[in-house]
A and B are shown apart, each in its own frame.
Chain A
Amino acid sequence: MTDGGPPPANRPSDPSAGEREARITGVGTSLGKAVVIPALAVLTALLIGGLIIAVTDLDTLSVWGDDPLEALRLTLSGVGDAYKALLIGSVGSPRALTETLYAATPLILAGLAVAVGFQAGLFNIGVNGQMHMGGMAALWVGFSVALPGILHIPLAIVAAIIGGAIWAGIAGLLKARTGAHEVITTIMLNFIALYLVDFLLTTSAFQAPGRNDPLSKPINPSAQFPTLGDYRLNIGFLIALAAVGFVWWLLYRSTIGFQFRAVGFNPDGGRYAGMNVAWIYVGVMAISGALAGVAGTTQVLGLEPYRGISGFAGTIGFDAIALALLGRSHPVGVLFAGLLFGALRAGGREMQGAAGIPIDLVLVLQALVIVFIAAPELVRAIYRIKTPKDETGVTISTGWGG
């Protein structure tokens, strides 16, 4: 081929596998369908979460034998208190609300990164590593350059975009050139990124003077994200909103996005139609990584103590996978999923403080939501929702005694 891609054709693909994936990632579902199942999944998760709160409340459990009615009342009020605290802690006050939006910011950005990959049929499990690499680039620009904030912050973000795009682009290139599966390469690149960050933070280029542990120099105030008054909420959230708009435009309005989605559904069809599938894979990964890089900036430029520390991006890159699933890989879906997860984070702290429920329950709730999202048939069965007509089709796989 004149464009230098790998030998064309010859790579088998199983369209039915693509369809299975699409049903999990939600790519291609209409908006109406996209809302019902996630909403019911969240509701079911909250119900089961309530049950967990009830059975882990040992004091109340012992009352059941003596006075079941009293026990029921205690249980209901216990669960009610917990969820009330969750609600108050997430949206009950201006501070709670800003905390929700603040917690949602990196989740939305990282979720968009995963969603872009899903839309093009790629599973970018490496958002975590890409956040770290992007974050490191932003960090370096943050402490080593002296500029007014209006220039400094954009420059740091651009650096993060480049850092994340390159890191993810490696996996894209490997896939395009050699067919290496992106799930494997991105997972491995996560490890490399994590330890590379640890190493870099102990080099003189990054390490704070006089320290032996992996802790970077402080970021210049001009590169720190301006906050809303004394709340923690900062311009990162606006950046995330802009990213939602950008990804929506990219996927549904741009020619690049048209190719992404075509190749995501059917690479053979894309190749036949003249699309360069290999370069599209590289492009998808680069854009996904760029979004991850921006997500990474929030963990250094938008978070006290405004320094790089070991593993600064935490597990956001992995939560983002769950979040993209919940958002059915649609940018607006990701926005709402991010807000929900952000609310659980913010409210979880209040729940722990006021109702004494461990914050771990929030993680359990998140996990339950994902289980129900990943198993839509389960939700349909629980709520007796008819399977959409296009997904019926009698299984004729039995045959003779099969």
Chain B
Amino acid sequence: MELELKGITKQFAGVLANDDVDLRVAEGEIVALLGENGAGKTTLMNILYGLYTPTSGQVLIDGEPLELLSPADAIAAGIGMVHQHFMLVPVFSVAENVVLGEEPTKKLGWLDKSRARRVVREISSRHGLDVDPDAIIEDLPVGVQQRVEIIKVLEREARFVVFDEPTSVLTPTEVESFFEVVRSLKAAGKGIIFISHKLGEALDIADRIVVMRRGKTVAEVVPAETDEERLAELMVGRPVDLTVHKAEARPADVVLSVEHLVVLDDRNRRAVDDLSFEVRAGEILGIAGVQGNGQTELVQAITGLRSALRGVVQLRGVDVTIESPRDLHKRDVAHVPEDRQRSGLILQFTVTENVILDSYYEEPISNGIQMDWDAAREQALRLVDEYDVRTPSVDTLVSKLSGGNQQKVIVAREFDRDVSLVIASQPTRGIDVGSIEYIHARIVRKRDEGAAVLIVSSELDEVMAISDRIIVLFGGRIAGEFDGSATATEIGLAMLGSQGESEAS
């Protein structure tokens, strides 16, 4: 049994999203579909799932062409999809979600809950999924919610399963157990398409890797015959340097000092629990840790977006614990926020309006009352050029830009002045390899200019590549402190909280 996409071409107004793409997957095979954002992966999968009709080309199973006009057709043909954003009803139980849409009923239309439960239990034991059928979705961690999606797909007897960026929402541990589930599906004879832009994962799990670039399949390789560097080059179309080049750090005076900081989260729990550390001028301190261990609250407290319960934050010896974001901006703190779309940008604003978002009230953009839009445009034109932001014009809405270019807009805005402290949360999350390379280089340059840099990232590779020193957060406390020579295993263990409490600072 084999699923084949043959000569798929999809033309949108002005854009050729897929250009004569071929893709096959056999039973019991895992195919990774690798490509940068915008390479056409999602379009291709939407065609496979009946959401788009191709301009030309066919989808075939065992040589028989399929007519896929809706997801229902795809499901009937045995094609299942686990979306990046889950399609679950948060207030329903696992069993209710699994049977949603084809509910088993008893007489008079009563929902047969026991049968629904049985189905969940059976599928989850067969693939080692370990999901409680009566648990309510919103109480479950993301990794388990994803398993519920998988159970849904299996319950509809899918023979081919598409995973769209499945690991982007998972913690490293969850990724591991997710891979086990995928291998178990493979053993059960399912054909798997695994969409990703993460090179390591594709190498890890796939039998074959298909690389897409600008709507075309540019290569098909087996993991044993390639490596990350070569895959990256195929994806981007030019040689890519995955290592961050930087000279030895020359730490100078302490710029940021955090002492016994306690911060509550939205549910009044101690997200940051008596935390102390320092960052010096000319060094990059990386904060590693599985997401949800207090990183978000820590950064918010330092940047004035959340008040600390106790403790002191000092900037060059001045207590700034209660200062507002505006005060800190005036003290030359640059902040690249965790969620660029939610807080870093006003998506409905143009590039120009976004690059002046925190300097709109100052000369030369404003005289205090009235904006000088000519000056603003001039600044935007200069920054777009200097920071390599790819945009049709500075009057383009920032929502139309790719993730990487949106992030460059933020970096340009925050870095375009003398800053003494740089705080960057997840600076490269979800953006293309080229932009990652660029943003890392910019951060290192700020360090070399004498800024203290604090990087928070849940991607261990990133933290290890860019940091001069690393601390690991676990449960709001420091679970380990490392210098640049630490191994991934050491740090990984600390991320799981297994190194005990080292009250280092």
Contacts and interface: CB of A to CB of B under 8 A. Distances in A.
B13 A269 contact: no
Contacts of A399: 71, 81, 83, 87, 152
A400 B346 contact: no
A273 B357 contact: yes
Interface residues of B, number: 56
Interface stretch (B172-180, B209-217, B364-372, B459-467): B364-372
Interface in B323-337: 323-327, 329, 335, 337
Given A2-B323, A10-B306, A272-B337, A253 B346 contact: no
Nearest to A22: B348
Contact of A3 (B72, B101, B324): B324
The main secondary structure of chain A at its interface with chain B is loop
Query: Which of B300, B335, B347, B399 has the most C-beta atoms of chain A within 10 angstroms of its own C-beta?
Result: B347
B369 A255 contact: yes
Interface in B4-38: 13
Contacts of B163: none
B371 A272 contact: no
Contact of B327 (A2, A9, A273, A396): A2
Contacts of B369: 254-256
Contacts of B361: 255
B417 interface: no
Nearest to B75: A400
A401 interface: yes
Interface string A1-43: 1110001111010010001001000011000000000000000
B368 A255 contact: yes
B387 interface: no
B53 to A, nearest CB: 11
Given A9-B305, A9-B306, A394-B51, A400 B371 contact: no
Interface residues of A, number: 42
Interface in B25-78: 46, 51-52, 70-72, 75
A274 B343 contact: no
A255 B347 CA distance: 19
B100 A402 contact: yes
Contact of B366 (A255, A396, A401): A255
Contacts of B358: 273-274
Interface string B399-443: 110000000000000000000000000000000000000000000
Interface string B306-342: 1100000000000000111111010000010100011
B153 interface: yes
B277 interface: no
A67 interface: no
Interface string A239-269: 0000000000000011110110110011011
B160 to A, nearest CB: 14
A380 interface: no
Nearest to A272: B343
A12 B379 CA distance: 32
B474 interface: no
Given A262-B349, A272-B325, A273-B325, A400 B51 contact: no
B80 interface: yes
Contact of A269 (B152, B266, B326, B342): B342
Contact of B102 (A12, A15, A258, A401): A401
Interface in B75-95: 75, 80-81, 83, 87
Nearest to B158: A400
Contacts of B357: 262, 269, 273
Nearest to B323: A2
Contact of B346 (A266, A274, A394): A266
Given A258-B371, A400-B75, A394 B266 contact: no
Contacts of A3: 324
B156 interface: yes
Interface of B: 13, 46, 51-52, 70-72, 75, 80-81, 83, 87, 100-102, 152-153, 156, 266, 300, 304-307, 322-327, 329, 335, 337, 341-349, 353, 357-358, 360-361, 366, 368-371, 373, 397, 399-400
Given A1-B307, A27-B348, A401-B100, 7 more contacts: A254-B369, A254-B370, A265-B348, A394-B52, A398-B87, A402-B87, A402-B101
Closest 6 CB pairs of A and B: A401-B101, A399-B87, A274-B326, A272-B343, A273-B357, A274-B325
25 contacts: A2-B323, A8-B305, A9-B300, A22-B348, A255-B369, A256-B369, A258-B353, A258-B360, A258-B371, A265-B347, A265-B348, A272-B335, A272-B344, A273-B325, A274-B324, A274-B325, A275-B326, A394-B46, A394-B52, A399-B152, A400-B71, A400-B87, A400-B100, A401-B156, A402-B101
